[in-house]
């Protein structure tokens, strides 16, 4: 098997540039929700030393001085452009696995070896021309090696966006030039630990005995090691249905008020229920969690969560919201100030495979709830929650979230129209 990892360069920034070409060549950053911190950077802003996750207030001076462009994140736009990129990939390869909003693996089975590079080069041009997004492609025998190849494709313009690791010699060379903490699967915990033991590069790591890796890092480390040796060990994307769905937000201002938290949690839960229905799923369990502000060392900290199990998997707003509020009441303590809350629905099953509980469950009520939720879905299109439960407040859960640097909704008018049946 051969994999091609296609990765959009600086994706959120590239999306903004696709509709504002004057941003081309300028240092740009895109911010997280609440305009909290930097989540995407152009090459120019990376070169200025701005790090991923930098709080916005630390670079605000650069913006005020006209040396840095800033945008609030616009997920409707990014999702739309992502769809367009993925369609081009699906037209190129026999099979693709979408890994994230800006990345996908193409499975190149059945494609002749000499065809692989021209095919990928052509894809890079098409995506740039038709969607306006620059992408890089890394090709290798395993997903982890394809990731390594992708780093080279991004870093060195000479590759023109496509880098392939094929021979053992190429593999060794590439691994010897890759810092161990840049390897997919080796994170901020293990990276420094390995370096402390004298393992600097991916090649150093790959040359350790497998047993040693197993003892230090467990089964996940073994997988990474095998992948670097060209043996596929990372799971194929199998389950289409998500196992858990989460909706959470930080608040612009902290709150200790149960009433206010209940309104937020109701909205998060209703959004989870809607995502469930869109996936044609239902969930056996609902978890509500709260966070105090971890940056305020002067305040008491509290990170509680509680899970409610349901007798029958649910996807109606009524049931999910009811369970989430019940969980909230068990964890809420009035003596704290909360900065963030969220709802997770998990233990999901296909909605059409639900088995009723034997006793003590009102089937008629469930069917009524499901019908009402479906009706709400048909009226509430994405981002426009016109219908709500009584526990939800007028407005949208995104209300009160800071978005002071948002670009216009360039592309999404079309998808809104297409979603109305």
Sheet with strand 95-100: strands edge to edge: 95-100, 103-107, 3-8, 135-140, 162-164
The structure tokens 């370096």 sit at 195
140: phi then psi, degrees, rounded to nearest 5: -165, 180
Q: Binding DNA by CB under 7 A: which of 121, 307, 380, 412?
A: 307
How many Cα atoms are found within 13 Å in the side-chain-facing hemisphere of 373? 26
Residue 313 vs 342, nearer CB to DNA:
342
The Cα 301–Cα 339 span in angstroms is 11
The answer to whether residue 312 forms part of the interface with DNA (CB under 7 A) is no
Distance of closest approach, residue 95 Cβ to DNA, in angstroms: 18
Task: Determine the distance from the C-alpha atom of residue 63 to the mean position of all C-alpha atoms in its chain, rounded to a whole number.
Answer: 27
Q: Of the ranges 99-107, 108-116, 118-126, 404-412, which one interacts with DNA (CB under 7 A)?
A: 99-107
Distance of closest approach, residue 73 Cβ to DNA, in angstroms: 8
Residue 25 vs 218, nearer CB to DNA:
218
Contacts of 328 (CB under 8 A, 6+ apart): 258, 261, 262, 265, 288, 290, 306, 341
Distance of closest approach, residue 115 Cβ to DNA, in angstroms: 27
The Cα 173–Cα 163 span in angstroms is 13
What are the helix (H) ranges across 279-347?
A: 317-331
The structure tokens 């963030």 sit at 340
The answer to whether residue 100 forms part of the interface with DNA (CB under 7 A) is yes
The answer to whether residue 132 forms part of the interface with DNA (CB under 7 A) is no
| Window 2 to 61, contacts with DNA (CB under 7 A) | 32-34, 36-37, 39, 52-53, 55-57
Distance of closest approach, residue 19 Cβ to DNA, in angstroms: 21
The Cα 221–Cα 417 span in angstroms is 47
Binding-site string for DNA from residue 357 to residue 396, where x marks contact by CB under 7 A and - marks none: ----------------------------------------
Binding site for DNA (CB under 7 A): 32-34, 36-37, 39, 52-53, 55-57, 99-100, 102-103, 147, 183-191, 218-220, 235, 239, 242-250, 252, 254, 275, 293, 295-296, 305, 307, 309, 339-340, 342
């Amino acid at each position: 098997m051969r994999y091609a990892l296609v990765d959009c360069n600086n994706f959120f920034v590239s999306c903004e540039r696709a509709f504002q070409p004057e941003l081309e060549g300028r240092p740009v950053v895109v911010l997280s929700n609440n305009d909290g911190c930097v989540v995407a950077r152009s090459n120019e802003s990376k070169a200025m030393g701005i790090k991923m996750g930098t709080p916005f207030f630390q670079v605000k001076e650069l913006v005020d001085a006209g040396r840095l462009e800033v945008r609030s994140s616009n997920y409707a736009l990014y999702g739309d452009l992502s769809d367009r990129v993925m369609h081009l990939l699906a037209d190129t390869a026999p099979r693709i696995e979408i890994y994230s909003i800006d990345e996908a693996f193409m499975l190149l089975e059945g494609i002749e070896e000499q065809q692989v590079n021209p095919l990928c080069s052509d894809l890079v041009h098409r995506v740039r021309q038709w969607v306006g997004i620059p992408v890089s492609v890394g090709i290798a025998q395993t997903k982890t090696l394809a990731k390594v190849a992708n780093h080279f494709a991004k870093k060195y313009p000479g590759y023109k966006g496509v880098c392939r690791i094929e021979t053992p010699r190429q593999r060794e060379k590439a691994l010897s030039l890759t810092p161990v903490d840049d390897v997919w699967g080796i994170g901020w915990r293990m990276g420094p630990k390995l370096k402390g033991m004298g393992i600097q590069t991916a090649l150093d790591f790959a040359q350790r005995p497998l047993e040693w890796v197993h003892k230090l890092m467990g089964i996940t480390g073994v997988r990474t090691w095998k992948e670097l040796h060209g043996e596929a060990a990372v799971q194929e994307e199998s389950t289409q249905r998500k196992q858990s769905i989460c909706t959470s937000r930080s608040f612009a201002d902290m709150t200790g008020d149960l009433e206010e938290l209940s309104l937020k949690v109701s909205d998060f839960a209703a959004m989870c229920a809607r995502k469930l229905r869109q996936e044609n799923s239902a969930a056996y369990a609902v978890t509500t969690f709260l966070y105090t502000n971890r940056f305020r060392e002067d305040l008491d900290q509290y990170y509680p969560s509680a899970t409610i199990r349901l007798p029958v998997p649910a996807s109606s707003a009524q049931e999910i919201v009811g369970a989430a509020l019940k969980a909230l009441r068990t964890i809420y303590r009035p003596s704290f100030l909360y900065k963030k809350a969220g709802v997770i629905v998990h233990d999901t099953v296909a909605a059409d495979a639900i088995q009723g509980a034997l006793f003590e469950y009102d089937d008629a009520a469930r069917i009524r709830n499901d019908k009402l939720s479906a009706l709400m879905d048909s009226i509430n299109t994405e981002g426009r929650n016109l219908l709500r439960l009584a526990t939800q407040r007028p407005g949208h859960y995104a209300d009160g979230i800071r978005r002071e640097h948002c670009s216009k909704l360039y592309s999404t008018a079309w998808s809104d129209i297409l979603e109305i049946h």
